[in-house]
């Protein structure tokens, strides 16, 4: 019984530690549906920063 509890605890810890970290994404809503945009921070950090700044300020609203 004690071994079962230890094994289940280890499996639980491994399962939690294996989860992928959540990525930042932008969701663009249109009349035809939603689009999800992934950001590539490593490849284009300035573009990602610029896009996020504009999106948060409402620059793209209504376009």
CB atoms within 10 A of CB 48: 17
- Stronger pLDDT, 28 or 19, i.e. the higher one: 28
Q: How far is CA 14 from CA 8, 11, 47, 50, in A?
A: 10, 5, 36, 37
Cα gap 30→15, rounded to integer Å: 37
pLDDT value of position 16? 56
pLDDT at 34 over 60: yes
């Amino acid at each position: 019984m004690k071994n079962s509890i230890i094994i289940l605890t280890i499996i639980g810890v491994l399962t939690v530690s294996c989860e992928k970290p959540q990525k930042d994404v932008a969701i663009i809503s249109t009349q035809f549906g939603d689009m999800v945009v992934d950001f590539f921070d490593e490849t284009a950090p300035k573009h990602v920063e610029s896009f996020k700044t504009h999106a948060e300020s409402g620059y793209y609203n209504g376009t």
